[in-house]
Structure 1
Amino acid sequence: MWRQSFGLLGKSYAYDTTGSCLLGKWLHIPLYTVPLCSAVVDVAIQDYVVDVAAELIYQNKRQISTEVLFVFPLGPNMAIYSFQARSEDAKVQAMLRDEVQQLHEATGGWENLEYLLDQSQYLGEVFACPLGTLSPGREVVVTLRYVQELPREPDGAAHFVLPRTLHPYTDLHAWGCRTSKLHYSLLLTASLQSPRGVVNVQANFALTPLIYTAQDRSTAQVSLAGGPPSHHDLELLVYYGDPTAVSAAVEKGDPEAPPGSLLGDPVVLVMLAPSIPETVIGQHQYGEFIFLLDTTFLEHAQDSLLFFLKSLPLGCYFNIYCYEENSVGIYPQSVEYTQDNLTEAMQRIPSISSSVGDTNLLETLRSVYNNTPRPRGHTRQLFIFMTGLPPDKEAIAAEVCRHRNSHRCFCFCFSEDSAALAMALARETGGEAAYVSSDNSMRVVVLKCLKQALKPAAEGVSLSWTLPHGLEVEVPGDTPQFIFQGQHRLLYAQIHGQAQDMTVAKGVMTLQYSLDGQDVTHSLEFPLCPQGDGRLAGHRLAARHLLMRLLPEAVSGSGDEPRHRAVEISLTSGIICPFTSYVGIRTPQRVTWYQRPLALLPPRQSLIPCQIVELRGSHKVSSCYPVSIWVPPGWLTAMRASWLALCQVTHGIAALPQRGACSKACKPPPPSISSLKYVDPVEFVLCSSICGRWYTEAIAECQELVALQNADGSWALTSGLASVLEVDENELKRKMPGEVMEPSIWATVLAVTWLHRHDKCYRDICELLEAKAVTWLCGQAVSQLDKCLEAANTLFGSSVKPSVFRL
């Protein structure tokens, strides 16, 4: 559980050595944690998916009763499908129900979740469930199950990290924390399975020897040896045999589910990881790069936009959209990246004052998706700049999700309120997101993302299947059109029908794609005999993918069928969606406060909120225990009321929010309809607004030089270049080696050499520009570069090495 003390934002809080929270100067409200006593964790890893079952025992060691709230942060691609809590006096069983709003109104205690929503230091989604009162010395046993897609390491290993809630060690890097031994026991066992065979397991903690449970080494077991580490996460790397560009494992369905249903049929777990070689930065490249900018950004960052455009490679396509109340495209559709088109684009960017109305990013996205065809052979990537949170964020999320397999989004937000949307758009499309706090840091961050966007990709990805008579395949969710270098994709294919003998039947899966204009084909034969331990991790993740495909249509109001289908899948798989809700059924097992005739009455059931909520988080505070805690809800309500009273007395100091208290009668906000729910806050990049003076000066020095560079990477020998280099133009011409027939060759060598002077460092902001320049030089006059470099070093008094020019 979340061992964290929820204090105030700003400066009106403090932590003492007992973990209490100090409010203001006079008011003291203690927030105590209920410690974890033991954890039993059973991990089942099948190729690149995992099913985790955990039993956690907590004990109230204080002398007074405590109200408790269980909070479980959700990681990327993770979904809880079962939850239960048992104590001596009560049992809470979380169940998925339809009609979310009615169930919200039927449950109490939402004000505590509302406070958690506002005041948490954690950013991202959490599963939260109030569990009632825990008496002194009593225990509560929490059982939960979740499934998760695992990341694939470059060497092919599946990477599993045990959540901090299941291993709440002390973070020694947090301020004010003290070293101590773990006060709980941990029993961890892992079963591993793959038709390719389990080759090896590595961990950052002591493991028992790997024990194979099948002769073909397709299944194995391993356990935690000794005590768990007290200062870091538990991580496992699982290696499989025959690493290829494609793998497939068949998971058997639920025998109790109807045949033909998602849970009843076998599901193929497919991993696609094409082998894509590196390319030289700056060379001719394919790709379509679309910049979506609001007018506030354009007012203050046209110089930065020039940096980005000059860093694009020859051979690509580009376009720029300026969205305000109406979206404006520089071109009707993307155009080839040439000097003429680049010059025209910079001239046509409107210089408009900042709009006071709503920014219309949604219509701009729809225009890009529906009205601008993608140039054939060019992967589409969007660079979205948001200075504020668009009012129609849910519709934007749904629109991007609908086209998630046809492009990538790189999102840059300039306000904290738009961070969650930026993260969601980037994650769902395989891109990146960044919070940018200054113009200087923005250039580095955007250029870093542009380097990622310039990586080569497998284009036109398609899968075909050859199966025995009587079987057919359906993929719940679209196959991605592109897979970029270093990426992998997990797909789930439902097998319909019945073959004569599934125990010996085999199927063939063929992956086809285009790489740098060449067609590539990978075929894999795999056994169709379903395997698995009945935990249905692949089936539940397939349900999650299918829900993601259904939700945009379900929320668009195009009919009831998509919504009914989404509700059915959610309820049968246990994976929550916007139309269903977790509701805890709390059943008192005995009446402890009255032992006479009333105690003979049957137990009374009550509904309690058991929600997945999006926490806003705060990077202004830190905690020794950032992952799991018992928070007493009664204190939360009192704390909020006291906090608001302090706000009135002190006239709103310490940046207190303006939302006001939430009474018992207040209703929660309507359920989110965004299908982009699974966001990894760890992957979000926070860029400091503090840049060194040398860095600011370096950007200013480079700005003029960048403005003079041509789209092909070259510079012309002009008075403007001489002014930037601080050398007289006539002297530049006199120093040009006699072997050089083209002045632009000499000018380009001078510019690159100037960037590499011994006392300067421009690599972060000029790497792409420099690479394009060197590529142009190598294609023009390799034989002249030695003499040019020697003359340039003499002119600048530098010692730039020939390797800079690939010599």
Structure 2
Amino acid sequence: MAPSYVKCVHLIVEVELQVKDHVATVISTLNYQNKEDKPIEALFVFPLPGDAAVCHFSADIGQTHIVAELKEKQQAREEYDDALSSGQQAFLLEESEQSPDIFSLSVGSLPPGESASIRLQYVIELAVEADGALRFCLPAVLNPRYQPQGSEGPGVPVSSVPASEIPYSLSFSARVSSPRPVSKVESSCSLEPLQYLNTDHTEAAVKLAAGHKFDRDVELLIYYKDAHQPSAVVEAGQDSAKPGTLMGDPVVMVSLYPEFPESVMSKRTSCGEFVFLLDRSGSMRCSTSNWNQQETCISSARDTLLLLLKSLPMGCYFNIYGFGSRYDQIFPKSVEYNEKSMEEALKKVKVMQADLGGTEILQPLQHIYSQPCISNQPRQLFVFTDGEVGNTKEVLDLVRKNAGSHRCFSFGIGEGASSALINGLAQEGRGHAQFITGSDRMQAKVMQSLKFALQPVVKDISVTWDLPKRVSATVLSPPITTIFQGQRSLIYAQLCGKVLDKKDRQTRNHLKVCQLETQSRFIEARKKSEGNQHKDMKRKVVKLSVQSGVSSHHTAFIAVNKDNGDAVQGPLVRRNVPTPGEVGEGKDCICKGFTFFFFCYDPLNLQAPLIRGGSAVPEQPRRDPLLQLVSLQKASGCWLLDAALASVLGKTSEEVEKSKTAEVWATILALIWLHGFKMEAKDEWELLAVKAASWVQAQNAPCVKDCVAAANALLCCRVKKKALKL
């Protein structure tokens, strides 16, 4: 049976983004039109950021404006069904039972030719990228999520078809304001020129260029000047709310994004247990982006593991897991990192394929956590996945229970990766999340996270509030226990007591804040509503959700048009409105047994891999000179002087042969080549270069200065010895 999407509904999407420092408010307007000759119920399942706080939902039908109410989820569903059965028009917006980054919108009893305009508003904190940019992502792609057998709840009905088959159009505009000047705004999509709205460049506006096809996520990278300076933003309480309550009192948001001295950051730990958990499900065979069809997610992951293994410090411990419908591991338990174990691991990494079936991450995580921790070797878990997981909440509950024994760094690969899963893993595991989309190189982002894992941590943090008399601050956020270089922390606090008028100069100067209409309270209300799912907490969660106007796992928005006159006549036909998904190569969908309907144009994933001699033919490795050079490095950090090294450097064996100490000379040659020809990829090789420089220093060779000069001459470079950290 084919899915009943037809071209029954025309959908125009208008998105207005308002960025206030580190918080974004997103206002989406979805305009539906029923083009059929019968009344329909349109079901639209779509992605939202997993930590978004949905705080407004309304609908316009003709001249009638309806503002939705938040109610307990089952009550809202019953009211929606009752309205439809009586011929009334109704709208229901609710979060998925399994994952907070999937929402379903039901548009009921839409008569033939009728139009409806839906307005949805949510607030979200913006993540900080490795280069200091704030990242906003408007998700367009919702890949079908794999629901393991026996997991809680039914799967989410996701309909996805090629963008060319969907009558979608998108209008997108953004306005940015901050206490700091806005230096630039970049995007993976074409933008119109950035417009500054004032002379000090603290306000700016930008629009998506005309002609954009809503077939991939829209990503914005926002750069501020003086990004590492702490800032604070205050929001007044609501006049209609009672003083002393969360909604009635002012709240303040403090942003901390410190930059530590190089003398501190150059000290890196030499211990740790590094566990790499790699998604090897069928969907990892898809290409990493629309622009590079040759590079697949699994091939990029293999290259990344090569860099990771070469960058680990001697004496640490490591292991590599692959997961799909089943999981495997390279070693029975984590082993000490040395030349032998590294080479054994690399041999297995080279032949890794996306051949393990569905996306079941829960069992390998349970196995990893069952392994005893190694004394004086803090566990660091790196998770690589395209995020097509249906049992997200079960996974995050498990990570939360084990957060005291490890840190978790997560990487969402490709369009449509679940933000709830990727961000949730990092938040619950006290680590860092990265998304690899478009033309991003996985290697650079992963190596940045390895730097976080190896860098010293700032502990014993305390916050002191300097407030006017009779004013106190109640911190709403969890306490900050650690701060890392390159990671941003936000602190929310409720200001209690006699707060002076927000226009009063003394208060404004004393708090040193910029009065912006942020909605940080919504984010905190959302956070308070998540987590504890016990029955005795449900009532409190529902009460807080309704009071704050922020949806939660236990509530849903319901809007009923009670003023539409005559009841809608005729049988109601249900239509699934597909997302403009990029469901192409390698998605896990049909082979994973979904029980709902969706289109999946997936010729590559439905075909078995070419078999010769009883095994799948591995993909041909790409001849990337950087990766070739990295592959030749030893675990200790040095290179050998041989023909393979000469070939990567573009020289003959005779040209590189010198009477100097062979391994020292070879290692300095490699370092000069990296600094001279691959500075644009420094984030990828910086750690292994530090290890190489440390090895050279440990040799106490008297010829280092001469080797640097000779290597520069041979390779036609001008790299100074100081730059090599020798």
1:604-658 deviation digits (Å, cap 9, x = unpaired): xxxx99x9x9989653179xxxxxxxxxxxxxxxxxxxxxxxxxxxxxxx95763
1:80 aligns with 2:80: no
The aligned amino acid for 2:21 is D
Which residue in 1 is equivalent to 2:623? 695
The aligned amino acid for 2:470 is G
Which residue in 2 is equivalent to 1:684? none
1:658 aligns with 2:593: yes
Unaligned runs of 5+ in 2: 86-90, 142-161, 281-298, 349-354, 598-616, 648-652
The answer to whether the 8 Å contact 2:383/2:411 transfers is yes
Structure 1 position 251, deviation (Å): 0.9
Percent identity, aligned pairs only, is 25
1:242-263 deviation digits (Å, cap 9, x = unpaired): 8652111221112332333221
TM-score, reference length from structure 1? 0.56
The answer to whether the 8 Å contact 2:412/2:435 transfers is yes
The aligned amino acid for 2:489 is R
1:453 aligns with 2:381: no
Instruction: Provide the C-alpha distance between the structure 2 equivalents of 1:657 and 1:90, rounded to a whole number of angstroms.
Output: 44
1:511-540 deviation digits (Å, cap 9, x = unpaired): xxxxxxxxxxxxx95158x9555xx61211
Which residue in 2 is equivalent to 1:260? 244
SS of the residue corresponding to residue 145 of structure 1 reads strand
Which residue in 1 is equivalent to 2:255? 271
Instruction: Provide the C-alpha distance between the structure 2 equivalents of 1:392 and 1:35, rounded to a whole number of angstroms.
Output: 30
Work out which of the residue numbers 255, 272, 286 in structure 1 matches 2:269.
286
Larger radius of gyration: 1
1:389-419 deviation digits (Å, cap 9, x = unpaired): 9997533312435787997533469999997
User: Does the C-alpha gap of structure 1 residues 160 and 148 become closer, same or farther in structure 2, counting only changes over 3 Å?
Assistant: same
Instruction: Provide the C-alpha distance between the structure 2 equivalents of 1:506 and 1:106, rounded to a whole number of angstroms.
Output: 50
SS of the residue corresponding to residue 715 of structure 2 reads coil
Work out which of the residue numbers 192, 197, 205 in structure 2 matches 1:210.
197
* RMSD (Å), alpha carbons: 6.7
Structure 1 position 131, deviation (Å): 3.6
The answer to whether the 8 Å contact 1:322/1:329 transfers is no
Report matched runs for 1:41-440 at 5 Å: 45-53=19-27, 67-69=41-43, 73-75=47-49, 77-88=51-62, 93-98=67-72, 100-101=73-74, 104=77, 125-136=102-113, 138-150=114-126, 196=179, 204-205=191-192, 210=197, 229-232=209-212, 245-276=229-260, 284-286=267-269, 289-292=272-275, 308-313=308-313, 318=317, 320=319, 330=334, 342=338, 360-363=363-366, 381-384=380-383, 394-401=393-400, 409-411=408-410, 423-425=422-424, 428=427, 431-432=432-433
Structure 1 position 268, deviation (Å): 0.4
User: Does the C-alpha gap of structure 1 residues 207 and 701 become closer, same or farther in structure 2, counting only changes over 3 Å?
Assistant: closer
SS of the residue corresponding to residue 34 of structure 1 reads strand
1:360-387 deviation digits (Å, cap 9, x = unpaired): 444466569x977887xx9x74223679
The answer to whether the 8 Å contact 2:342/2:635 transfers is no
SS of the residue corresponding to residue 400 of structure 1 reads helix
Structure 1 position 475, deviation (Å): 2.3
Unaligned runs of 5+ in 1: 1-6, 9-22, 166-173, 332-339, 437-443, 509-523, 595-607, 623-653, 663-688
The answer to whether the 8 Å contact 2:33/2:115 transfers is yes
Which residue in 2 is equivalent to 1:677? none
Which residue in 2 is equivalent to 1:587? 562
Structure 1 position 467, deviation (Å): 2.7
The aligned amino acid for 1:49 is V
User: Does the C-alpha gap of structure 1 residues 61 and 773 become closer, same or farther in structure 2, counting only changes over 3 Å?
Assistant: same
1:18-39 deviation digits (Å, cap 9, x = unpaired): xxxxx9xxxx984144254x96
Which residue in 1 is equivalent to 2:351? none
Structure 1 position 51, deviation (Å): 3.5
Instruction: Provide the C-alpha distance between the structure 2 equivalents of 1:156 and 1:762, rounded to a whole number of angstroms.
Output: 17
The answer to whether the 8 Å contact 1:397/1:424 transfers is no
The answer to whether the 8 Å contact 2:20/2:177 transfers is yes
Instruction: Provide the C-alpha distance between the structure 2 equivalents of 1:413 and 1:205, rounded to a whole number of angstroms.
Output: 28
1:751-805 deviation digits (Å, cap 9, x = unpaired): 76899999xx9999866434422343256558613544687899xxx63646286
1:137-166 deviation digits (Å, cap 9, x = unpaired): x4323333322334568998877788889x
User: Does the C-alpha gap of structure 1 residues 142 and 743 become closer, same or farther in structure 2, counting only changes over 3 Å?
Assistant: closer
Work out which of the residue numbers 521, 529, 546 in structure 1 matches 2:528.
546
The answer to whether the 8 Å contact 1:124/1:615 transfers is no
The aligned amino acid for 1:784 is C
The aligned amino acid for 1:264 is G
TM-score, reference length from structure 2? 0.62
Instruction: Provide the C-alpha distance between the structure 2 equivalents of 1:400 and 1:264, rounded to a whole number of angstroms.
Output: 35
SS of the residue corresponding to residue 695 of structure 1 reads coil
The answer to whether the 8 Å contact 1:276/1:457 transfers is no
Aligned pairs, number: 616
Instruction: Provide the C-alpha distance between the structure 2 equivalents of 1:392 and 1:62, rounded to a whole number of angstroms.
Output: 36
The answer to whether the 8 Å contact 2:434/2:445 transfers is no
Instruction: Provide the C-alpha distance between the structure 2 equivalents of 1:415 and 1:162, rounded to a whole number of angstroms.
Output: 14
1:478 aligns with 2:478: yes
Instruction: Provide the C-alpha distance between the structure 1 equivalents of 2:220 and 2:412, rounded to a whole number of angstroms.
Output: 34
Instruction: Provide the C-alpha distance between the structure 2 equivalents of 1:474 and 1:275, rounded to a whole number of angstroms.
Output: 27
The answer to whether the 8 Å contact 1:413/1:434 transfers is yes
User: Does the C-alpha gap of structure 1 residues 211 and 481 become closer, same or farther in structure 2, counting only changes over 3 Å?
Assistant: same
User: Does the C-alpha gap of structure 1 residues 235 and 498 become closer, same or farther in structure 2, counting only changes over 3 Å?
Assistant: same
SS of the residue corresponding to residue 463 of structure 2 reads strand
The answer to whether the 8 Å contact 2:230/2:255 transfers is yes
The aligned amino acid for 2:555 is T
1:278-326 deviation digits (Å, cap 9, x = unpaired): 6899x652376543357999xx999997863441247x96555879899
SS of the residue corresponding to residue 463 of structure 1 reads coil
SS of the residue corresponding to residue 511 of structure 2 reads strand
The answer to whether the 8 Å contact 2:41/2:106 transfers is no
Which residue in 2 is equivalent to 1:31? 7
The answer to whether the 8 Å contact 1:381/1:453 transfers is no
The answer to whether the 8 Å contact 1:506/1:525 transfers is yes
Instruction: Provide the C-alpha distance between the structure 2 equivalents of 1:701 and 1:222, rounded to a whole number of angstroms.
Output: 44
1:314-357 deviation digits (Å, cap 9, x = unpaired): 7x9655587989997648xxxxxxxx8646977999x99x9999
User: Does the C-alpha gap of structure 1 residues 565 and 660 become closer, same or farther in structure 2, counting only changes over 3 Å?
Assistant: closer
Instruction: Provide the C-alpha distance between the structure 2 equivalents of 1:615 and 1:404, rounded to a whole number of angstroms.
Output: 35
Report matched runs for 1:652-731 at 5 Å: 655=590, 658-660=593-595, 693-695=621-623, 703=631, 705-706=632-633, 708-710=634-636, 713-714=637-638
Instruction: Provide the C-alpha distance between the structure 2 equivalents of 1:56 and 1:389, rounded to a whole number of angstroms.
Output: 25
